[in-house]
Amino acid sequence: MKKALKIVLIMITLVIIGFIAFWALVFYDMNPCGNKVASTFFSPNKQFKILVFERNCGATTDFSTQVSLLRHNLELEHDDEGNIFSADRNYGDAEIDENGNVYLKATWLNNNKVLITYDSKIRIFKKENKLDGITILYNKNYR
């Protein structure tokens, strides 16, 4: 009888631990990434903005410089990825600025068109040409 009670208690304990672990995964933010905005560029009519930011996902990855196009009243969340551009230093080939970002600049040409100028030595992961009716052009001769 004692052996059966011991087995039942062990099973109940394992179920409780499993239940706690499940809810911890559901409610706990497991994303190790964080963002630090370096610069903001508003469209001429102030309806949109371009955010250039550093994304850090921990010790196993290099920092990346990312760009998001957002409506003027929205904010970048701490775990958002860039929605139009993402790049890193290409194993140290590209230089970084005083904020730790690769050299990158956004220039609004008009309310519907933006030019992203960047260092030609970077390694690009994402490069969108259009979002929310805004055309994104690129020039890789920043320096």
The encoded tokens of residue 33 equal 């990434």
* Residue 23 sits in the same domain as residue 66: no
CA-based radius of gyration for the chain: 23
Determine the length of the chain.
143
Name the token pair of 128: 């969108």
Q: How far apart are CA 131 and CA 75, in angstroms?
A: 17
Tell me the per-residue pLDDT of 96-131, one tens digit each, with 9 for 90 and over: 888 777 888 999 999 999 999 999 999 999 999 999
Using DSSP bridges, classify how beta strands 130-131 and 134-139 pair: parallel, antiparallel or unpaired.
antiparallel
Structural domain harbouring 16? 1-30
**Complete DSSP assignment for 60-83:** TS--EEEEEEEETT----TTPPPS
Structural domains counted in the chain: 2
What are the pLDDT digits (tens) for 13-64?
888 887 776 665 555 556 678 888 989 999 999 999 999 999 888 766 778 8
Do 24 and 59 lie in one domain? The reply is no
38, 21: one domain? no
